[in-house]
Amino acid sequence: MTAIPVEETRVRRVVARAARLGRPLAPWAAGALAVTLVATAARLLGPLVVRSGIDDGITAGDRWLVTRAALIFLGLLAVQYVAQARAQYWVAVLGERYLRLLRSTVFRHLMRLDLAFHGRSKAGVLVSRMTNDIESVQEFVEEGAISLVINVLTIVGVTAAMLLIDVSLALQVLSLVLVLIVVSWVFQRYAGRAYRQVRERIGRVLAALQEGIAGVRVVQAFTQEEEQAGAFGRVNEEYFEANMRTARAIAWYFPAVNLLRIVGIALVLYLGGGRVISGDLTFGTLVSFLLYLDWFFQPVVYLANTHNQMQSAAAALGKLFRLLDTKPVVSDEPGAEPLPDEVSGDIVLEGVGFEYEPGMPVLKDVDLHIAPGERVAIVGETGAGKSTLANLVLRFYDPSTGTVTIDGRDLRTVPASSRARHVVLIPQEGFLFNGTLRDNLRYARPDAGEDELWQVCRSIGIEEWVRHLPERFDTLVWERGGRFSAGERQLVALARALLAQPAVIVFDEATSNLDPETEARVEQALATVLQGRTAIVIAHRLRTAENADRIVLVDEGRVVGVGSHGELLGSSSQYARLVEVWERGILR
């Protein structure tokens, strides 16, 4: 038994999985297939009507039979037009609904993947998955799918019709099919590899483009414009070469198919014409046979185009499915139960160790208790493990060893929605989403009412600012909150956190990028937000550490000191050196 090629098996698996994803759309697919069958049947009956008109009408000199054949032919054209138009529309609806489902499925999965995945993945490549790869599927869905069905049905129908009209002549002509199969097989093998390379390298182009644009300030600061352009040029050249390989394949294949078509027509004219002269074949049969023969090769050419689209779509779907197969490291465990409505915010890390990469520990045997309502600053040199500790409390990651608990509950046994309700993050930069101010404030609590929004703004001290905005809560903030200053964005982020009414707040030094005047305003708002809540602050500056109830000093993944600012100054030389560095920075 001949083994099925690995590539063909891969494509079949992708197609089968794509079909499973689209099961809810089966009624639309069935309707499109039914009207496509009607359209194809109407077209295939046309040459038989032409044969009847020639043999029974023209040859016999019967005008009525000629007129009848013409009317039937026009009727078949009308049926074909209506059925094909309906099929085209249903396929378009089916395709757009499928693409909507695919986009939503992939994006939802991306949002659920853990920070470790997003940390090692290039944003440009992920954007390519959602744009170029989806676009490849869209091209096939909108153009290739209906063409594939129609042309396969046409080839099968034409073959059956030619055998029905004249078996001997059909078998002689169809011998060319063997040559066509070999030529098409060679083309598909070569073009398939080329199209996969094209899809892979467009992702690299987008990644290089995104990186260059995002880092343009650094590029210009170091006058590396030419070097960066050269790096992009090398990636672009690889993409160009991949496209040229597909162009070379197309350049020889389609002329070869057209040549076989002309040879087939010449063969029918020679063999069929001789039989018409000898009286062994009617002239109408020869004409209908030539029509069918032309219709046989046309779909083959179209199928080659469709095959290219299908290969490209299959490669794109393969990448999308591999993305969907990526399992989040952090997920809700079976039987996870939400925290109660009232949480005190008692945080305990016991024997916690963590590794981003196996064998490279970032945290080692961390034991730490943060009491309810306590403000704890985590300090240490860059790379000491400060942010990792905060990420574990937020459950962006799970510890490799040990446990992190809130009010005695292991965070791994708490659903993500419940954890997010009671533990919130205020990042170093107040990130706002494109939309209205109302949308951003209600991000953590979509059900918050108008009165609650005003109350929160009043508590933070931004009520008057909001009232002076052009449309108050309905004011557009623009992408990344670009309409507002850094301080205004941070105040909105604080209001958003307060609206969620969390028990624990994790700060990534929320004032480190602000000018002194704005910092003082934000610090005042922080006092309101922190009242009665547990706070974990990643401290990059001395002032933040001094204001904490306790300071946790981290060095090389271990907690090496815990106490107040004064206590650590007297007991820890490492902390004293850190303070000295901070003070030198302030004096400058």
Q: What is the pLDDT of residue 144?
A: 67
**What whole-number distance in Å separates Cα of residue 366 and Cα of residue 354?**
10
Cα–Cα distance measured from residue 144 to residue 443, given in angstroms and rounded to the nearest whole number: 41
pLDDT of residue 585: 58
**Residues paired with 525 in a beta bridge:** none
SS3 534: strand
Specify the DSSP class assigned to residue 366: E
Q: What is the pLDDT of residues 300-312, one digit of tens each?
A: 767 766 766 777 7
Average pLDDT, the chain: 77
Pairwise CA distance, residues 558 & 79, whole Å: 78
pLDDT at 390: 84
User: How high is the pLDDT of residue 588?
Assistant: 35
Q: Is residue 532 classed as helix, strand or coil in its secondary structure?
A: coil
Order across the sheet with 534-538: list the strands: 423-426, 504-507, 534-538, 375-379, 550-555, 558-563
Residue 190 CB partners (closer than 8 Å, separation 6+):
245, 249
Residue 377 pairs in a beta bridge with: 537, 551
Specify the DSSP element, H or E, that contains 562.
strand 558-563
In CATH, 21-325 is 1.10.3470.10: no
Distance (Å, rounded) from C-alpha 170 to C-alpha 161?
9
**Span(s) in the chain for CATH 1.20.1560.10:** 21-325
Residue-wise pLDDT tens digits, 27-43: 777 887 888 888 888 88
pLDDT for 316 equals 77
In angstroms, the Cα distances linking 422 to 162, 355, 367, 418, 425 are 74, 26, 22, 7, 10
Q: What average pLDDT does range 14-36 have in this prediction?
A: 77
Contacts 24+ apart (CB under 8 A), 36-40: 36/83, 36/84, 36/87, 36/146, 36/149, 36/150, 36/153, 37/153, 38/79, 38/83, 39/79, 39/80, 39/83, 39/84, 39/87, 39/150, 40/150, 40/153, 40/154, 40/157
Backbone CA torsion sign across 196, 199, 202, 203: negative
Which CATH code is given to the segment(s) 347-587? 3.40.50.300
Q: Stretch 94-98: mean pLDDT, rounded?
A: 79
Count the Cβ atoms, other than its own, within 10 Å of residue 514.
17
Question: If you ran DSSP here, which 8-state letter would residue 484 be given?
Answer: S
Q: H helices of 477-572, where?
A: 486-499, 516-530, 542-546, 565-571
Please check the confidence at residue 73 and state whether its pLDDT lies above 50: yes
Mean pLDDT of 369-384: 83
pLDDT top residue among 192 and 389: 389
Max CA-CA distance within the chain?
119
Chain centroid to CA 567: 51
**278-307: per-residue pLDDT in tens?**
888 788 888 888 888 777 777 776 776 676
Query: Residue length, the chain?
Result: 588
Q: Model confidence over 313-362: pLDDT tens digits?
A: 777 777 788 877 777 777 777 777 888 878 788 888 888 888 877 777 88
Tell me what pLDDT residue 121 has. Answer: 66
Q: What is the mean pLDDT of residues 370-389?
A: 83
Q: Between residues 541 and 261, which one has the greater pLDDT?
A: 261
Name the nearest CA neighbour of 495 among 429, 444, 548: 444
Count of beta carbons in the 10 Å neighbourhood of residue 341? 8
If 0-12 CB within 10 Å is exposed, 13-18 middle and 19+ buried, where does residue 497 land? buried
Residue 10 pLDDT level (bands cut at 50, 70, 90): low
Give CATH 3.40.50.300 domain extents, the chain.
347-587
Tens digits of residue pLDDT in 523-581? 666 666 677 778 888 877 666 777 778 888 888 888 888 888 777 777 777 777 877 77
Name the nearest CA neighbour of 81 among 43, 111, 118: 43
Chain segment 466-505, per-residue pLDDT in tens: 787 787 777 777 666 666 776 777 777 777 877 777 788 8
pLDDT at position 299, please? 77
Phi, psi of 405 (to 5 degrees): -125, 155
Alpha helices in 53-132 (DSSP H): 63-112, 115-120, 123-128
> Which pLDDT tens digit goes with each residue over 136-175?
777 777 666 677 777 788 888 888 888 888 888 888 777 7
Given a cut of 60, whether residue 511 has pLDDT beyond it is no
Integer Rg of the chain from CA: 35
